Structure 1
Amino acid sequence: MKRYKLILLGIVVVAVWILLGGGISLYVDALWFESVGYYGIFRSVIWLKAISWLVGFLISILLLWVNFWLASRRTYEQEIWFRQEYLVLAMDEKKNNLFKAGILVLSALLGLFVQAQWLMFAQFNNQVPGGPADPIFGKSLSFYFFDLPVWDFLTGFALALVFFSLVVAGISYVFHGHLGYSRQLHLSYAARIHLAILVGIGFLIIAVRLYLKRYHLLFSIRDNGVTFGAGYTDVHAWLPVYWILTGLVLVVAVLFFIAPLIGSLKHALAGVGAYILIYLASGIYPAIVQTFRVEPNELEKESTYLSYHLKATLDAYDLQKIEVKEFTTVGRLDAASLAANQGTVHNIRLWDWRPLKDAYGQLQTIRPYYSFEDVDLDRYVIDGNYRQIMLSVRELNFAQVSEQAQTWINQFFQYTHGYGLCASPVNEVTEEGLPDFFIKDIPPRSTVDLQVTRPEIYYGEKTDHPIFVKTRMKEFDYPQGAQNAFTTYAADRGLNIGSFTRKLLFAWELGSFQILFTSNFAPDSRVLLNRSIRDRVRKIAPFFDYDNDPYIAIDQGRLFWIQDAYTTSVRYPYAEPFERQFNYIRNSVKVVIDAYLGDVSFYISDPDDPLILTYQRIFPTLFKPMSELRPGLRSHIRYPEDMFGIQREMYCTYHMRDPRVFYNKEDLWEIPHEIYGDTEQAMESYYTIMGLPGEDKEEFVLLTPFAPKNKNNMIAWMAARSDDVHYGKLLLFQFPKQQLTYGPMQIEARIDQDPTVSQLITLWSQKGSRVIRGNLLVIPIEGSVLYVEPMYLQAEKSEIPELTRVIIVYENRVVIGETLKEALDAAVAAGPQRRAPLLPPPPAPETSLNPELQTLLQDAIRQFDLSQERLKEGDWSGYGEAQRKLKEILDQLRTRTAPEPLPKSSNGTD
């Protein structure tokens, strides 16, 4: 007895510990939601979960209790033959209480099962009815999105309740003497009626589920089918089979209901056997139809259903809106046409985000505890010009703080935020091949009319650990030479620390009991939680899918994160699933997060989406219309890459809108490949500013080319528009079929074969440098196509990639230049192809140098090594001094090694 008491005590302690921890987390969540202005969302979710659990619990305990009561009204003592002897079974008070406790626990667990579906019930109750009707049953889209999931769940839950009721009643009948085995099975009349009715109810529910299964044919995937969704065999064979099975199950249910009246279960059991046999054989008739009627005439039989499938897939991925045009050549590019398209030419992206991130990291990290997590691409009006620029936020990475400095105080009080960002144009480099910064350094210094006045990053992609602000201890702000600048968080955001009770709660929640004993808290001290922007938005709205690339935007000197959110479903009739994840998607919400305050706003960007309209009914205070987004941020809304990537993958197949062409897969496309570095990979879609054919001004678009399946030529390119009233529009430009247009891999092959390029790469490689070939960009201009590929050089002893050459391929010319302008001029120039000169070859090892030159070379190497050491130490003054001395030495070398001028000819000409 003592052992059982100890076990019970242990269970109680664990339960109290779990409940206490859960209660504290729930209370802290409530405080957090209130602090960010979404307490109403938190309350609604808790209420919906509580109601769902309570309804599930009450229904479960009511049904289980009723069945237990019906089975325990009369008690008989019985003997059961077990292992060659009789055992006496009887229900006593202990077993009775244990039974009741088991019913209570089981009902609570079933309530949790219902609670997990709280969002589905909320969608059902708040749905926006309508949407296109399916072509087979005529049901609207809202039926499949909101009604069918609920009916599927309710019938499954009801079937589970019937099963558990049978178990409870059966066990109860055994202990109350109504059901037993003493040499033979015996069952009382009352038990027979009760259990037969339960089984009959179970078969009624199965009949309803078979009826609902007809609608699931619209999501069927069959190995021998040519389409997703119901095909000819599904409609003409499986649909009748389901009707037959439904009718048979109804008959079986009736047989169980009348079994007690006729005093025999033989007919009911025979019905069950017949149902099982017919169910097992149900696939025979559809297989015959498929084999002998469909396969010999597949295109004819499936053509109608293929058209349903094509239309549904285009609608589900928002591809039906694509405007298809022909990309026609209007003439050869020349200097005049380039001058007329300066907005496009001046925004050709030379910097790939990977080498640029490395360059930012080496040049602008400043201190080892800062890091650049990602490089974003956006557009701004810079000094009156529409420019494409790349930005990266300098976030705090506490893991990179020296091990000795990773103290509790530093983590929670000192190192609280990142600082500033870097910004540079996509197409400009310094003489050294490095990015030409628009914004750099700490504090941020800008060379253009784009200012950052609130550079602190309290919320970001890398920023994740909780911190305390407005304490008696100043926060580290940024390094300032030999000293550091300090600051105090100026906003009223976060959770107030307040009383000792609050400290105790936060100590428990954060697992940090130093909170109880520190003397650094002031009356207005606060804790900032959920500082990762991904975690932050998911905490508020977990029912969305989120884009993998949130990006930073500057508006009125402040920094804001913009995060795209998607509504998805797996229940769009006839629509092809994308990688078995979903078969419907919309970019319905733009989320904006203030990098300093942490304020989060959700703006509806697709008001026609039935899912977002339903969420708006469930959470009316969560969303705002796009018209309320401040204009400075609205100008930075862009078409999301993840959405575009999904659409372009689907469009490779579903641009074929004719059922016959689709059936034969006559015109499959694919994403072309390119060479990045020295590796072949699928081309990445890319943002650019360009003038679209037929438009009178340049705009910011997301672009991708297409190639025919298993071929390398280019067949089309697609652009997603992001600016103003054109936002969200998709344009597809197809090349004339009688015209061969080189594709990216063909261009890469021509670059590989070009002697100038290959010699240059060989020369650099011999010197121990790494050559990085950047993304190949397809730039359509006035009916022509330019191919642009930057080349980066990374020295053996340096981690800074330098942009050293630009390759342009136009028509039959492969041109390499030190600058974009040089390469462009050579590419469009008339006459024979011009090539940029190679670097002079390195001197042979045996060549001897005079002592003076040898001394200068050694001094140059020494100053270079010294400058690299100063750079790694973050000593910018020392780095600048070493670079200055290095320049002086190189100037001397240049003077002493300059070739003598050639003598003039006798006629006075050169």
Structure 2
Amino acid sequence: MDINEFNNFYDRNEFRNTAKKLKGRLIAVIAVFAVVVGLIVAAGIYLDIIQLNEIGKKLSSIYIKNIQYKLIFSVFTFILIFAAISVTNIFIKRVLFKFLKKNGTQSNIKFPNYSIAAVIGLLGAFITRNFFFQKALTFFNSEAFNLKDPLFSKDVGYYIFQRPFLISIYDFILYLWIFVIFYTIAYYLISLILVYSNVSLEDLKFKSLIRHNIINVSIFFLIKAVSYTFEKEGLLFGSFANVRGVGSVLGAGYIANNIWKLYFTIAPFLLLAIVAVTFFFVWRGKLKSAGFSIAIYPAVWIVVSIIAAITQVAYVKPDEINAEGKYLKNNMTMTRKAYNIDNIESYPFKLEPLKPEIIARNKETVDNIRVVDYKATLDSNKQLQGLTNFYSFHEGDIINYNINGKETPVFISAREINKDLLQSKSYTNMMFKYTHGYGIVMNPINRFTREGQSDFIISGLQNEETELKINEPRIYYGELTKDYVVVNPAQEGKLKETDYDGKTEVSYDTQNGGGIKLGFLNKVLFALRFHDYNFLVSSNISSNSKLLLNRQVVERAQKAVPFLRVDNDPYILLTDDGKLKWILDAYTTTNLFPYSQDFGGFNYIRNSVKIIIDAYTGATDYYIIDNNDPIIKVYNKIYPGIFNSMDKLPEFLKQHMRYPEYLFKLQTEVLKKYHINPDSEQNITNFYGGQDLWKLASIPDKESGEEVLEPYYNMIKLPGKFGKNEELILMRPFTPSGERHNLGSWLSVRNSMENYGQLIQFTFPNEAQNIFGPYQVEVKINQIDSISKDITLWSQSGSAVFKGNLLVIPIENSILYVEPIYIRSTGNAIPEVRRIITGYQEGNEFRYGIGTDLRSALNNMFSANPATVTDDKTDTTTDNKDAGNDNEDKPSQNVGDKQQVIDQILSKYDVLKKQMDELDKLMQDLR
């Protein structure tokens, strides 16, 4: 088809009429589609807003502000894209008409301009709708860290709050122009193909067409010149060196500082010169020269890369510590600041043998020593306190409570609804009847019953006998409540919620409780969102019914503040007014802290927020607890009124503050490598060579070989100047890296309000004697003959035997080791404490005591002639005359032997009691 035939076809009236009809129908379809999409978006926004308002007051303001900024930047991106495409189309049309005129061709073709620009603009705005808003919010509300990076001396706040937004603006312009380049080429090709059936290479050599594309490429390089500032700053987030035990460290090393920094400084000017020369050649029509000038840019980069590689191999690698030493110091310094371990107080711990008078002086510490195992206690609580077939305990936590006027560490766990345990999972049961958990259990961690089971302070369902009263025990919001339920059903007299014992029924207090009213509009919208059309047809739902959703407390807290990282380990508290409240920790994190090492996807973290959620109403409140964190300051400026100040922290939380275990574990992981202070060249050399690496203390494990000890809470009086009173401490021991298992240090963090978050590192001098670590103590316990015999005897009777947590308890300048031993009888899932083992180190001996409780174990340990295990892996006594006298056949008179006899009698009694119980059960069955 030649051009005249094409124009004749284009001008036909019939074609025009058909096009008009199609255009009208297309507009109608687009309008209907736009209305439907608009209604769906509006419905989604409405549902999100009412959910956030139900979670907490003013929380929807976060969502609304985010939408406002999304709209602002969507309009901004649309205008930029529309303008760029429209201007490009104007130049393309001019070139095409020149081309057609040069070839003596006339055309009535209407090349698309604004319509296609609008379509591309709308698509671009939609794709980039989430690209700017969060970075813009932090940019316009940024705060200073008052800490400068070591390379460019810019405040760290620039890299976290300002630079990301500037980069996003730059990236948008860069990618937009890349799109314009390819769009221009495609437009020319498609237009020429439509006009001519065949387009030759000679046709494409039209100077105006080539000039337009070269100018586009030159503008790309002009934009690219701006990037070198960001790329130079990006050196701070590169990697260098090869540190033993760490690998490559984050930051700018020798090559980055001495080669690439210089290149990125010169490169923008070089590029601008290349662009200027290119424009000159293009204007003079010397297109080949223009192409050669553009090629200089990648050639220079290749040359610099080769120089950097040669320098790394020939100069840096052979003497890496001297070349990279000062840059390693930067990494060590900034990493320690980023994880808040740079101000740890270090206290030298010179071990002294434990003595009875030390125990006597520290009675409260000893009385509060944890003698029950976490997992065993939780398992026991599930068996003893589940009480019905639909309650369960997900996990428990250790916290301090005032019991009978004395601060006592307790194990507390929520009795939650677990619908997986229901036999009948009908819609009525799942939605209306089984809606909530009921109450808590609480037992001290420093004692147990005579049977070796949990000694409950709060137990059962009614709790009438306890001094700690629960006025509202129902738990509608918890860790296991992952579904939504409807309360206050329409059939008020017939259908009620099942309460605590499976028989009693109760109605939810819709006046004081949370939830969203299910009017007609809400029923329709939630039915569509959840694909649950029972909302529309169920006779149990009326306009007075309420929908309780977002009931899983971690997800509930996270939903409102997506910019924070919410800890997935909440704990429950009983307040002074008898209410149950969930406490959650939230963190501010970033991966943009210069020179800081990445651990877990970020390289900076602060525990800046505590969250309180009412277990009954779901009311959620956020409190700032770290006023020194610049990141939370920024979010507090962005979203005013969301966070409560620290002085408004409820009194019950101040009394029961607890440092998050997640953060403490992370800090101990960092500390394994970064405990070395970079205040001397020797320390930096030690860090590089891994001469002073730590590892987390462990105990022997049959399956994996070693099991790392988890951090543990205990109520102790800290040694030295810190120890005024007993307080709840979270602690974790370290040992040197490698095959050695001696105790090297231990880290503790304080939980009380006045000292919250204070980290104290207790270290043992290098010249001190080898101090037994948990692994070595466990090995020595396994060598105790009486314990081995007991375990064998219990196992032969069909009982499962396992050990609880081995604890390392500092008392003044001494260390006490404590470990419980549990048995679980056949047919009885309840674990019971059978023995407590205590021990301490004196010289190269491990002196131990065994008892049925902590007091008896301590008494036996401090008896006149205690049992010991020495490094030759034999059981001995401290009486050298009796020890090693193999020819004497008389009965041993030392207390260690007496304890073995007592233990054997107790073990046989346990077996006999079990057999009598089984006999009694058999007789009852026969009757």
TM-score (norm 2): 0.85
The one-letter code sitting in structure 1 at the alignment partner of 2:282 is P
The yes-or-no answer on 1:823 pairing with 2:857 is yes
Q: Once the two structures are superposed, what CA deviation does each residue of 1:575-616 show, in whole Å capped at 9, x if it has no partner?
A: 11114x111111111111111111111111111111111111
Partner of 1:353: 374
The yes-or-no answer on 1:681 pairing with 2:700 is no
The yes-or-no answer on 1:651 pairing with 2:664 is no
What is the DSSP-based 3-state SS (H/G/I as helix, E as strand, rest coil) of the residue aligned with 2:850? strand
In structure 2, how many angstroms separate the alpha carbons of the residues matched to 1:89 and 1:106?
A: 31
Q: Once the two structures are superposed, what CA deviation does each residue of 1:100-133 show, in whole Å capped at 9, x if it has no partner?
A: 3475146423543252332111111111134211
The yes-or-no answer on 1:124 pairing with 2:152 is no
> Relative to structure 1, is the Cα distance of residues 100 and 693 closer, same or farther in structure 2, using a 3 angstrom cutoff?
same
| 1:720 CA drift (Å) | 0.3
Q: Contact (CA 8 Å) 1:31, 1:495: kept in 2 or not? A: no
Give 1:513's match in structure 2, choosing from 525, 533, 557. Answer: 533
Aligned 1:306-705 pairs, distance under 5 A: 306-329=328-351, 332-334=354-356, 336-402=357-423, 405-447=424-466, 449-472=467-490, 473=492, 475-480=496-501, 483-497=503-517, 499-555=519-575, 556-579=577-600, 581-657=601-677, 658-675=683-700, 680-694=706-720, 695-705=723-733
What is the DSSP-based 3-state SS (H/G/I as helix, E as strand, rest coil) of the residue aligned with 1:646? helix
Partner of 2:43: 24
Partner of 1:872: none
Partner of 1:63: 84
Give 1:216's match in structure 2, choosing from 211, 227, 234. Answer: 234
Q: Once the two structures are superposed, what CA deviation does each residue of 1:503-557 show, in whole Å capped at 9, x if it has no partner?
A: 2122212222222223334443221221111111111001111223111111121
Q: Contact (CA 8 Å) 1:52, 1:111: kept in 2 or not? A: no
| 1:675 CA drift (Å) | 4.3
> Which sits farther off after the overlay, 853-862 or 236-245?
853-862
In structure 1, how many angstroms separate the alpha carbons of the residues matched to 2:756 and 2:675?
A: 21
In structure 2, how many angstroms separate the alpha carbons of the residues matched to 1:659 and 1:276?
A: 38
| 1:189 CA drift (Å) | 4.3
> Which sits farther off after the overlay, 286-295 or 153-162?
286-295
Partner of 1:888: none
| 1:58 CA drift (Å) | 2.0
| 1:787 CA drift (Å) | 1.0
What is the DSSP-based 3-state SS (H/G/I as helix, E as strand, rest coil) of the residue aligned with 1:731? strand
What is the DSSP-based 3-state SS (H/G/I as helix, E as strand, rest coil) of the residue aligned with 1:218? helix
Q: Contact (CA 8 Å) 1:77, 1:90: kept in 2 or not? A: no
> Which sits farther off after the overlay, 227-236 or 176-185?
176-185
Partner of 2:4: none
What is the DSSP-based 3-state SS (H/G/I as helix, E as strand, rest coil) of the residue aligned with 1:378? strand
In structure 2, how many angstroms separate the alpha carbons of the residues matched to 1:132 and 1:443?
A: 56
Q: Contact (CA 8 Å) 1:564, 1:589: kept in 2 or not? A: yes
> Which sits farther off after the overlay, 510-519 or 725-734?
510-519
What is the DSSP-based 3-state SS (H/G/I as helix, E as strand, rest coil) of the residue aligned with 1:393? strand
The one-letter code sitting in structure 2 at the alignment partner of 1:411 is M
| 1:48 CA drift (Å) | 1.8
Q: Contact (CA 8 Å) 2:819, 2:836: kept in 1 or not? A: yes
Aligned 1:851-870 pairs, distance under 5 A: 859-862=919-922
Aligned 1:194-343 pairs, distance under 5 A: 194-222=212-240, 227-329=249-351, 332-334=354-356, 336-343=357-364
Q: Once the two structures are superposed, what CA deviation does each residue of 1:621-648 show, in whole Å capped at 9, x if it has no partner?
A: 1111111011112211211111111111
Aligned residues: 844
Q: Contact (CA 8 Å) 1:330, 1:783: kept in 2 or not? A: yes
What CA RMSD, in Å, does the superposition of the two structures yield over aligned residues? 3.2
In structure 2, how many angstroms separate the alpha carbons of the residues matched to 1:150 and 1:549?
A: 33
Partner of 1:714: 743
What is the DSSP-based 3-state SS (H/G/I as helix, E as strand, rest coil) of the residue aligned with 1:268? helix
Q: Once the two structures are superposed, what CA deviation does each residue of 1:395-441 show, in whole Å capped at 9, x if it has no partner?
A: 11122211xx3222222222111111111010221122110111111
Aligned 1:880-899 pairs, distance under 5 A: none
| 1:496 CA drift (Å) | 4.3
> Relative to structure 1, is the Cα distance of residues 766 and 621 closer, same or farther in structure 2, using a 3 angstrom cutoff?
same
In structure 2, how many angstroms separate the alpha carbons of the residues matched to 1:203 and 1:114?
A: 27
| 1:444 CA drift (Å) | 3.2
In structure 1, how many angstroms separate the alpha carbons of the residues matched to 2:914 and 2:156?
A: 80
Identity %: 32
Partner of 1:905: none
Q: Contact (CA 8 Å) 2:729, 2:750: kept in 1 or not? A: yes
Structure 2: where are the runs of 5+ without partners? 1-17, 678-682, 868-895
What is the DSSP-based 3-state SS (H/G/I as helix, E as strand, rest coil) of the residue aligned with 1:63? helix
The one-letter code sitting in structure 2 at the alignment partner of 1:610 is P
| 1:223 CA drift (Å) | 6.2
The yes-or-no answer on 1:157 pairing with 2:178 is no
The one-letter code sitting in structure 2 at the alignment partner of 1:246 is P
Partner of 1:148: 163
> Relative to structure 1, is the Cα distance of residues 620 and 777 closer, same or farther in structure 2, using a 3 angstrom cutoff?
same
> Which sits farther off after the overlay, 765-774 or 420-429?
765-774
In structure 2, how many angstroms separate the alpha carbons of the residues matched to 1:779 and 1:446?
A: 34
Q: Contact (CA 8 Å) 1:60, 1:111: kept in 2 or not? A: no
Aligned 1:106-125 pairs, distance under 5 A: 107-125=122-140
Give 1:137's match in structure 2, choosing from 146, 152, 175. Answer: 152
| 1:257 CA drift (Å) | 3.1
In structure 2, how many angstroms separate the alpha carbons of the residues matched to 1:111 and 1:190?
A: 34
Q: Contact (CA 8 Å) 1:676, 1:773: kept in 2 or not? A: no
What is the DSSP-based 3-state SS (H/G/I as helix, E as strand, rest coil) of the residue aligned with 1:422? strand
The one-letter code sitting in structure 2 at the alignment partner of 1:702 is L
Q: Contact (CA 8 Å) 1:416, 1:475: kept in 2 or not? A: no
| 1:274 CA drift (Å) | 2.2
In structure 1, how many angstroms separate the alpha carbons of the residues matched to 2:28 and 2:584?
A: 49
What is the DSSP-based 3-state SS (H/G/I as helix, E as strand, rest coil) of the residue aligned with 2:46? helix
Q: Once the two structures are superposed, what CA deviation does each residue of 1:729-781 show, in whole Å capped at 9, x if it has no partner?
A: 10011113222110011011111111111111111222222112111110001
Q: Contact (CA 8 Å) 2:527, 2:535: kept in 1 or not? A: yes
Q: Contact (CA 8 Å) 1:677, 1:774: kept in 2 or not? A: no
| 1:727 CA drift (Å) | 0.8
Structure 1: where are the runs of 5+ without partners? 80-85, 867-884, 886-910
| 1:45 CA drift (Å) | 1.7
The one-letter code sitting in structure 2 at the alignment partner of 1:818 is T
Q: Contact (CA 8 Å) 2:77, 2:124: kept in 1 or not? A: no
What is the DSSP-based 3-state SS (H/G/I as helix, E as strand, rest coil) of the residue aligned with 2:239? coil
Q: Contact (CA 8 Å) 1:712, 1:743: kept in 2 or not? A: yes
In structure 2, how many angstroms separate the alpha carbons of the residues matched to 1:817 and 1:268?
A: 91
The one-letter code sitting in structure 2 at the alignment partner of 1:59 is L
The one-letter code sitting in structure 2 at the alignment partner of 1:815 is G
Aligned 1:663-812 pairs, distance under 5 A: 663-675=688-700, 680-694=706-720, 695-710=723-738, 711-737=740-766, 738-811=768-841, 812=846
